[in-house]
Amino acid sequence: MTLKAFLFIVSSALFHVLWNSFLKTCKDKPIAIFLMMIVTVICFATATLFLYPLKLLFVPSAIVTAIIAGFFFFLYQYFVALAYEKGELTVVYPLTTTAPVYIAIWSYLLIGEHVTFTGVAGIILIIYGAVTIQTGSFINFPEIQGGLLTDNLRVSGWKSLFSNGKKFQQGVLFALAASFFYSFGAVVDKMGVMTGNVTIYTFHLSLYMMLFHLIRIIGQHHTGRIITEIRCNPATIILGGVVMMLSLITFRIGLEEAFASYASALRQVSTLFGILIGFFIFKEQITVRRVISSIIIVAGAVLIKLG
């Protein structure tokens, strides 16, 4: 991975955390995402029309890949929402982070990407670090108490992965589906950024993702909630939409010079940025576990850079 790709993807991870932080303050989050995407599309449309002639916006290859990738990313967002509704965070989140594993397989079969052993190790470390931060436990590692290692393992979330509860099983299946759909979207996304102009492609991607969300809102008769959310959080929606645009474009600029599997895994450093924002801005406590998990994520990022 080139230094340019590395820096742009890491920057995208930071922007990703920031727009999600804005989203957390909104009351109706599904509607807020849709409204933020409208702001994102308006920003992209303004930038592309200012920078490029109108005729360059209609590139068939960019449109086709953007529609396909946008549909898979929409499915990912939808199934993640269902998974969190049906399952527990400590089980659902780890399953939604497994997409880079699938992506490495599809990338090899469909676009001929060959990841190195070092790169694979980096992917595994970043996924593991992100999971341990979210679950608060080290899978198959001794639990840390008072700074000392003990033999008491804390793996309750993983032991109950396929609980007999029907609702819990649905959460697991939805989480796996979300990760699976994202992996296809990521490979098509890589094809999309290689079609020509990355800004024009990203504009189309955001446009079609917004349209898929709009179709869902109309289909579920949630249009009346749009005005309510605009009245409650107008500034948050605008700021979140602008930052979302920065997250989308920086990631795809980096993706131009990086393998899809590396890029998707490296973006998990957003978890690390979340901890730093929580510590410096919200004065949240940083535990020993989080420090160790952060070191693991950083080590994985370094391996991906080397890979």
Distance CA 62, CA 265 (A): 24
Distances from the Cα of 150 to the Cαs of 48, 128, 141, 144, 156, in angstroms? 57, 20, 9, 6, 16
Mean per-residue pLDDT of the chain: 85
In the structure encoding, which two tokens stand for residue 148, read together?
């000392």
Whole-prediction pTM: 0.85
Distance CA 200, CA 90 (A): 38
Higher pLDDT, 275 or 37: 37
Q: For the segment 169-192, what is each residue's pLDDT rounded down to a tens digit?
A: 777 888 889 899 999 999 999 999
DSSP codes joined into one string, the chain: --HHHHHHHHHHHHHHHHHHHHHHT-SSHHHHHHHHHHHHHHHHHHHHHHHS-GGGG--HHHHHHHHHHHHHHHHHHHHHHHHHHHS-HHHHHHHHT-HHHHHHHHHHHHH-----HHHHHHHHHHHHHHHHHHHSS-TTSPPEETTEE-S----HHHHTTT-S-HHHHHHHHHHHHHHHHHHHHHHHHHHHHTSS-HHHHHHHHHHHHHHHHHHHHHHTT-THHHHHHHHH-HHHHHHHHHHHHHHHHHHHHHHTTS-HHHHHHHGGGHHHHHHHHHHHTS-PPPPHHHHHHHHHHHHHHHHHHH-
Amino acid at 290: R
Spatial separation of the C-alpha atoms in residues 139 and 131, rounded to whole Å? 9
> At how many degrees (to 10) do helices 198-219 and 234-255 cross?
130
Q: What percentage of the chain has pLDDT greater than the value 90?
A: 55
Residue 155 confidence (pLDDT): 44
91-105 tens-digit pLDDT: 676 777 888 989 999
Q: Residue 164: pLDDT above 80?
A: no
**Cβ–Cβ contacts within 10 Å for residue 226, how many?**
17
